[in-house]
Amino acid sequence: SIPCGAPVIQPPGTKHSMMELLPPSLSNSTARALNRDGTVLGAGSTVEMPGENRLWIWTMSEGYRELGVAVTNSLEMSINASGIVAGALSDGPATLQPFIWTDGDLRLLPGGDMGGSVGVLADDGLAAGWISLSHHTVGRGQLDYRPAIWTPDSDISVLRDLPADWGTVLDVNPSGLCLLWMHRAMDNLVGVWSIGSRQLESVDDR
């Protein structure tokens, strides 16, 4: 059922308030990302299509706007200061296609034929996440995940050699350093990768 309740809640005795973000066309919704201007990126589904998450953005001045993009398998997505959105679309069973959405224009990124996703979109248009080096017919195929970056011109760089089973890019700073999350057996590793380099700058496996 569609959630009920006031859209804005202010606990007694406080100056803080909480606003419920649920586009009127959807039965449930989750917020996925927030840019520095306060624009919220989210996804939600309808009662009729519970497995299809439709992307939306919300601003205080304009309210909700649906993007006309639906995702099913991916939780990774990002919105930058210009309101450009990135993430991954389902493209067949267990396959994700990385994309960038700009004011109604959907652009698919290379590398998606092997599966991939964008979880970070910098203000300069640099996208980062992971791609899969091969298809897996059984299981999730995470052992093939490799950190990847896409330039605004859609050129792709992939860090193929890892001291781990798989990895992805968590964040990118203005100097071109990528923060990596990697997984080896039962251990999590953190690494730093410089854009343009073929090897890691540092690794912390504590």
SS3 for 103-153 is CCEEEECCCHHHCEEEEEECCCCCEEEEEECCCCCCCCCHHHEEEEEECCC
Cα–Cα distance between 162 and 184 in angstroms, integer?
10
Please indicate whether residue 158 or residue 111 has the higher confidence score (pLDDT).
Answer: 158
Q: What is the dihedral of CA 33, 190, 160, 118, to 10 degrees?
A: 0
**Stretch among 39-48, 84-93, 185-194 having the lowest mean pLDDT:** 84-93
Residues 105-149: pLDDT tens digits?
A: 999 998 765 688 999 999 999 999 999 887 554 445 677 889 999
Cα–Cα distance between 179 and 187 in angstroms, integer?
17
Taking 50 as the threshold, does the pLDDT of residue 18 lie above it? yes
Cα–Cα distance between 195 and 158 in angstroms, integer?
10
Q: Give the model's pLDDT for residue 13.
A: 79
Burial class (CB in 10 A: 0-12, 13-18, 19+), 22: buried
In which region does residue 135 sit, left (phi positive, over 0), alpha (psi from -120 to 50) or beta (all else)?
A: beta
Task: State percent of the chain over pLDDT 70.
Answer: 87
Q: Give the model's pLDDT for residue 95.
A: 74
What mean pLDDT do residues 73-91 have?
Answer: 87
Cα–Cα distance between 132 and 183 in angstroms, integer?
15
Q: What are phi and psi of 92, to 5 degrees?
A: 100, 175
> Long-range contacts for 90-95 (Cβ within 8 Å, ≥24 apart)?
94/136, 94/140, 94/141, 95/135
